Copies of this chain bind each other. A is one copy, B any other.
Amino acid sequence: MPNQKSALKIALIGHGFMGAAHSQGWRVAPRFYDLPMQPEMTLLVGRNAAGVEAAATKWGWAETSTDWRQAIERDDIDVVDIVTPGNSHAEIAIAALAAGKHVLCEKPLANTLEEAEAMAAAAESAGKSVQAMLGFTYRRVPAAAFARQLVSSGTIGQVRQVRASYLQDWLHDAQAPLTWRLQKEHAGSGALGDLGAHAVDLSQFITGQLLTGVSGILETFVHERPLPGAESQRGEVSVDDAAMFTGRFDGGAIGIFEATRMATGRKNSLRIEVSGSKGAITFDLENYNSLGFYDATAPNTLQGFTNIMVTEPEHPYMSAWWPTGHALGYEHGFVHQAKDFVEAVAEGRQPEPSFADGHQVQRVLDGVQRSAQNASAWAQTL
């Protein structure tokens, strides 16, 4: 019974949209999975006292604080879960690791390559008994996890081509306001870091190959936008609206990538197609529960893409959920993330993706930026 299990006390730093998602992960994981430790929603941290209290009440966190350092100073806190904007990740995570806390950090790892490198180094220095994990939750969509299995088992043969894109459209309207996500000083980059990071990570996760170099272009279509709360005034957009790049993987595959928040009609379309010598897989996050699979070894007249509903108990993560054919949704990735994190901590092993994995993704994104600034010349990333 869970109450006989060791508790794993969590502090969540940040309480925006991602705070709701992480809270749901901690709340629900032990109700469906038989976890080795019992996560406890102990402390919620946010700068605004009223805001953090309201969020804690709504989401079920026992205590609140307005200072993230309390989470690190308290001996009873086991895990620091960071969902603040990217420019504060490094400071919090490095301090937490130094204090021996396990850390779960939302993506992107950091806004700069230097911070990302420092975080990876801190995770490395923290030792094997302290775990650090990055929140690329789309790895934990069952269809994506199953795609990786199909590739790693050789089912689609030698991987040759990857098409990966993350398309949204919530910025397509030129009158949408200039939020922090459109300012380089706060967000680091635009669609590239926000969405491209997922496309890069998922392509590497599924193929098991790393990008060795890239060539790309960045573009900003709307250069000025209304200031929030002062709509007659306009401010400059200092990040990219769209990123397009090609890349080469260390296993010999090539890839083509796109990230944008201005692809009209695409709401949350993280797509990947992997072509191998013996088959192919295709996935679109807008069809969360489906995976396309093509088997080039099937009889000729029966070949075609099979629309697999990834809801069988034998599919990754699915044995804990509903009968075949019953859909999961966005937040289940966070439940699976919480499960995997708790298991890794209990077993004393490094969960994936590590901070080093995140640092490597940042190097790829940095390569795209360097290439784009240099007339698309090839940029090494490994």
Bound together, the chains give a CA A59 to CA B300 distance in angstroms of 29
A346 interface residue (CB < 8 Å to B): no
Of the candidates B254, B265, B300, the one whose C-beta lies within 8 Å of that of A305 is B265
Residues in B with CB closer than 8 Å to A89 are: none
Bound together, the chains give a CA A27 to CA B27 distance in angstroms of 9
Bound together, the chains give a CA A209 to CA B160 distance in angstroms of 31
In the complex, are the beta carbons of B322 and A300 less than 8 A apart?
Answer: no
Known contacts being A263-B275, A296-B172, A301-B312, is A326 close to B254, with CB within 8 Å?
Answer: no
A302 interface residue (CB < 8 Å to B): yes
Interface code A238-260, partner B: CB below 8 Å = 1, 0 otherwise?
A: 00011011101000101110101
Bound together, the chains give a CA A242 to CA B274 distance in angstroms of 14
In the complex, are the beta carbons of A170 and B324 less than 8 A apart?
Answer: yes
Bound together, the chains give a CA A287 to CA B262 distance in angstroms of 25
Range, interface on chain A? 35 or more
Residue of B nearest to A217 (CB): B246
Stretch at the interface among A16-24, A64-72, A197-205: A16-24
In the complex, are the beta carbons of B280 and A264 less than 8 A apart?
Answer: yes
In the complex, are the beta carbons of B279 and A265 less than 8 A apart?
Answer: yes
Known contacts being A245-B246, A258-B163, A264-B294, is A57 close to B376, with CB within 8 Å?
Answer: no
Stretch at the interface among A78-86, A120-128, A329-337: A329-337
A221 interface residue (CB < 8 Å to B): yes
Residues in B with CB closer than 8 Å to A59 are: 31
Of the candidates B242, B275, B286, B306, the one whose C-beta lies within 8 Å of that of A264 is B275
In chain A, positions 267-292 with a C-beta closer than 8 Å to chain B are 267-269, 273, 275-280, 285-289
In the complex, are the beta carbons of A303 and B308 less than 8 A apart?
Answer: yes
Of the candidates B3, B303, B377, the one whose C-beta lies within 8 Å of that of A377 is B377
Of the candidates B215, B266, B273, B311, the one whose C-beta lies within 8 Å of that of A217 is B215
Residue of B nearest to A296 (CB): B264
Residues in B with CB closer than 8 Å to A327 are: 268, 285-286, 288, 327-330
Known contacts being A260-B161, A264-B275, is A302 close to B293, with CB within 8 Å?
Answer: yes
